[in-house]
Amino acid sequence: MKQINPADAFSKYQPKNITFVISVDKQGKPNGMIAAWHTILSKEPPMMGVAVYKVQNTHKLIEQSKEFVLAIPSGRLLKAITIFGEYHGDKIDKFKMSKVKTKKAHHIKSPLLADATINFECKVVKQISTGDHTFFIGKVVAAYFNDNQKIILSSGRDKNGKRTFCKL
């Protein structure tokens, strides 16, 4: 067991669960990003949280709209993960580019991803500044499950910096 820099230990923490974080702008146009730093927080009431880097477009959108969807990816979303994870939403329309299929949420404006294994609709109840990120805490107001789609996990990046995944 070797002592290493905490930030290096974060990147060694693989395989890791990942999620799409989907939000909307004032006109209702959706944007999305990929985040690993998320967790369930409470069963009763159901709550989840996600840490978003303060300079990200998604950060601004969640602060404005006070809502987000967490969509836990299945193997059908590999291409979308790369597009949502590598491009900036203020420059391209990630939804159009990835041709990802969406569905309307019941209680919020952010769309669900039809091919995600699980979708969580969340309304922000608290936001906490945690260093270079903001931790958005949401009440889960609805959840959806695709029982024929297995969850995939991040397993890091290859030598060329390309994201790698594993399915169990």
168 binds a copy of itself (CB under 8 A): yes
Q: Per the structure block, which two tokens stand in for 67?
A: 């809502």
Distance, in Å, from the CA atom of 43 to the CA atom of 153, rounded to the nearest integer, reads 23
**Which amino acid would we find at residue 133?**
H
Closer CB to a copy of itself, 72 or 77, in the complex:
72
For residue 65, give the 3-state DSSP assignment.
Answer: helix
- Asked if 94 and 156 count as a contact pair (C-beta separation under 8 A), the reply is no
**Is position 4 an interface residue for a copy of itself (rule: CB under 8 A)?**
yes
**93's tokens:** 């329309």
Q: Does 59 bind a copy of itself (CB under 8 A)?
A: no
Complex with a copy of itself: residue 84 or 135, whichever CB lies closer: 135
Q: Identify the residue among 28, 97, 130, 157 touching a copy of itself (CB under 8 A).
A: 130
Please report how close the Cβ of residue 58 comes to a copy of itself at its closest, in angstroms. 16
Minimal CA–CA distance to 18: which of 155, 139, 124?
A: 155
Q: Which is nearer to a copy of itself, 92 or 130 (CB)?
A: 130
Residue 83 binds a copy of itself (CB under 8 A)? no
Considering beta carbons, is residue 65 or 119 the nearer one to a copy of itself? 119
Q: Which stretch binds a copy of itself (CB under 8 A): 22-30, 59-67, 82-90, 115-123?
A: 115-123
* Cβ pair 87, 46 in contact under 8 A: no
- The label of the residue with tokens 């952010």 reads 110
Please report whether residue 37 would count as binding a copy of itself according to CB under 8 A. Answer: yes
d(CA 42, CA 165): 28
**In Å, how far from its chain's centre is CA 89?**
14
Residues that bind a copy of itself (CB under 8 A): 1-10, 12-17, 36-47, 49, 51, 72, 103, 106, 112, 114, 116-120, 126, 128, 130-133, 135, 137, 140, 142-147, 151, 153, 155, 166, 168
